[in-house]
Structure formats: structure tokens, C-alpha cells
Amino acid sequence: MNHPPGPPQPIAPQKPASLAVYKRELRKAVARSRVEPEITFLNITAMMDMMTIILVFLLKSLSTSTASLPQSQDLQLPKSILTTEPDSEPEGLAVLVSKSQIIVGETVVCPVPADAAQYGIEAKYKRGSRNDYFIVPLGSALQSWRDTDKRIRMATGRDPNQSEAILIADVSTPYRLLTEIMFTLGQAEFSKFHMMVLQGGGKTGTK
Amino acid sequence: MPDTEKLSAAQRSRVRRMSRPRELSPDEEGGELNIVPFLDIITNVLMFVLATITVTFTTMIDSTPPRNSGSSVRPPGKPTLSLNIIVIDKGFIVSAFGQRIGEGCNGPGSGVAIGMKIQDGVQDYDFSALNACAKRLKNQVPEAADETNATVTANANIPYQSIISTVDAIRKADDGQVLFPDITFGVPK
């Protein structure tokens, strides 16, 4: 027997649960919906520190080893068995002797002739005949630098009676030309030479 | 009984609202700059630079100009080695104790003390023999043990590399004994 539908019964207001139950349910819900923290980016600070140190070390070592020296067909440094760094950073005037010319600082002083192995630099650049060892334009350039260096040494309290030179010469430079350059350096009061060589080479004479 | 207690609709709604994961505001979640692409570029550039750069490690050989023979004062009677090496096309002429060393570096004599060697069909200077010769001469007289000076001279056409290799050969023995690291260059007559 069907009862006729009556008016909807009003829902009785539910009695709220106790505070303890509410808090327990809240804790459970929070625990359920907790999202594990997701790694959205890599912490690369430590790696950046490391790379910066390596980069600085590389730049420092390259600068001290004068890696910027251009190696070309015209200038190839001789190899030496020496593998140690010089005691202190050598200072002095750079005298560069390539296959084709002699350069002091950044100034070309004279060309190197093809027959330098026999007579050295051409006679017109010498003080007397071609057998002379003094190279006039090289001596003038050295003397100019020497005068400046002497004043600097006096002002800084170092020995003003001598200057130093760094000799950067090509492997094939003949000994005759080397003696002319060293003689001219000695005449210009350069009392110490640093000959630049490549580290770790073998004993080959390039005969 | 408290276990059978049910939350009311209002309480359930509040639980849902409060347990929802909190979303970060845009200014909170952008806490660190994303530099990974930048790092990629830097790493590539670094690798490229390291692969293409020609690293040349150089060092220096120090020398002083020749001095007059009378400038250095030595005690009378003390034997001096005064090693003198002349590099020529055929090898090394060696002088020591004021006399020329003969062929094979076995004692006084004439000729070229150390000749050329032929290795793999190529003629080259025998730097190993020169090294052994310098060591033998240095150890011959005990008074000369502290002598580290030597003079190197060469023919006009001898290349710089041969000079440097000669200087290297008399610098130190194979067993580490210091021979003649202080080199003075001479002028050929």
C-alpha cells in the first residue's frame, strides 16, 4: 500500500562531533593530502664553486706560463728537459729573435738575413764590418730601455748597475746570431739573460 | 561512544579546506634563478676553449755574459775543472783541467771527444755520452765537486736547439747528481 508523498521532512541538524574527534580527523586528512616536496631544480651552487675555482686556476697557470706567446712557423721555441718553473717570475726586456727579424719589446729593430749562420746580421746594421758583433739598431733600442730601467731601479732601491733580458729565440737561430745579440746585450749593460724554452722536451739536436 | 562520533557537515567542510595543500604564491616559488641553461653554455664554451687552446708551458735558462778570465780569484794550487765544450758539426770538443779531452772522453788527447751517433738512420748529437763524460770529469777530482760552471761555445752555424740540448745534457746526471747548471756562453775564435 503506497502512502501518498507528503511534504519533505526537514533534515534534523547533525550534532557536531567533539573537538578531539575533529582534530583527529583533521590530522588524518592533512597526512593523506600531504604532497612530498618535488625537486624542481638542481642545487648547483657547489658545482659552480668548483668550476669557478678550476677556471681561476687555469687562467692563473696559463698567464704565468706565458701561454700567450705566439707560436708560428717564424718562431718556435726550443725544447728543454727542464720541467721546473723558474724560482721567481723573470723580469726584463723581451728580445725576440724569429726566423725573419729581431724585435725588442714591440719594435722591429732589424731583419735576419738568410745567411745569418755564417756572418750574422748584415753589415749595414753593424758598427764596423760584418764580422763585428755589435748590432747598432739593437744596441740603440736596448740603451733606451736600459736608461729607463736604470732610473726605475734607482727609484725602487734595486741595483741600478745591471738590467735583465728575456731572450726568446727560434730553434733554428744560428749560434753566430745568438752571440751577436748576447754581445750587444752585454754592451748595453744587460748582465743577466733568461732564455725562454719549452718545458719537457727531449734531447734532440735538430742537426 | 566517541569512536562512532561522526563529523558534522560543517566540520567535514572545514577539514577538507584546512587539509588542502597550500599553493605557493608566484613570488614564493621563484626563490632561485634557473641557471642550468647558462651553465650548459659555459660548460660548452669551456670545453671548446680547452680543446682548442695550445698550452705551452715555458721555463727559463739563466745565463750571464762571459767574464774576463782574471776576474775570478781562486785559491792557488786548487785544481779547477774549467769545463769547456765546443759544439761543432762532428760532435763535441771537450776541454777540462786546462787540456783537451781525447776521443771517447777517456783522458787527454786530440780530436772530437764525443762524436755523432746514428739512430734510426738519422745522425744526431750524442747527448747521453756528453752527460756521462761531464759526470766522469766532475767526479775525477774531489776538489772540483763544488764546481758548477761550464762554458759552452759553438760553431757559427749550430742551431739554438742544439745549444739548449747541450746545456741540458751537462746540467744534471741521470742519477740526479748536479753537474754544471751554471752556463756561460763563449765566442768562437
pLDDT of residue B158: 93
B128 touches chain A (CB under 8 A): yes
- pLDDT of B59 reads 79
**Does B52 contact A at CB distance below 8 Å?**
no
On whether any CB of chain B is under 8 Å from the CB of A94, the answer is no
Of A82, A118, A203, the CB nearest to B156: A118
Residue B151 contacts residue A161 (beta carbons within 8 Å):
no
Closest residue by Cα to residue B172 from B157, B161, B183, B162: B183
| pLDDT score at B70 | 42
Task: Provide the pLDDT for residue B20.
Answer: 81
Rounded Cα gap, residues B128 and B115, in angstroms? 11
Per-residue pLDDT of chain B (189 residues; tens, 9 = 90+): 445 678 888 888 888 888 887 776 666 655 667 777 888 888 888 888 778 776 667 778 888 765 544 444 455 566 678 889 999 998 999 998 888 888 888 888 888 888 888 888 888 899 999 999 999 888 888 877 888 889 999 999 999 999 999 999 998 888 888 889 888 888 876
Number of other CB atoms surrounding residue A53 within 10 Å: 10
Burial class (CB in 10 A: 0-12, 13-18, 19+), A196: buried
Task: Count residue pairs from A and B with Cβ separation < 8 A.
Answer: 202
* H or E stretch at B122: strand B122-125
Q: What residue type is assigned to position B169 of the chain?
A: A
* CB contact (8 A) between residue B58 and residue A33: no
Alpha carbon distance A75, A170 (integer Å) = 5
**Spatial distance between the Cα atoms of A102 and A95, rounded to a whole number of angstroms:** 7
Spatial distance between the Cα atoms of B130 and B185, rounded to a whole number of angstroms: 17
DSSP state, residue A12:
P
B64 touches chain A (CB under 8 A): yes
* Direct distance between the N- and C-terminal alpha carbons of chain B, in angstroms, rounded to an integer: 123
Distance from CA of B77 to the nearest CA of A (A): 30
* DSSP state for residue A2 in the 8-state scheme: P
Q: CA-CA distance, B164 to B148, in Å (whole number)?
A: 17
What separation in angstroms does the CA of B164 have from each of A74, A107, B71? 19, 26, 26
Residues of chain A with pLDDT under 50: 1, 67, 206-207
- Helix H or strand E segment including B29: helix B26-29
Query: Which DSSP symbol is given to A143?
Result: H
Asked if B67 has any chain A CB less than 8 Å from its own CB, the reply is: no
pLDDT at A67: 45
ipTM: 0.70
Of B39, B57, B187, which is closest to A65 when you measure between CB atoms?
Answer: B57
A 145-164 residues with CB below 8 A of B? none
Q: What is the pLDDT of residue A203?
A: 55
pLDDT number for residue B119:
83
Residues of chain B contacting residue A42, judged by C-beta atoms under 8 Å apart? 36
For residue B171, the distance in angstroms to the closest alpha carbon of chain A comes to 10
Rounded to whole angstroms, the Cα distance separating A69 from A76 reads 10
Task: Please name the residue of chain B whose CA is at the shortest distance from the CA of residue A20.
Answer: B2
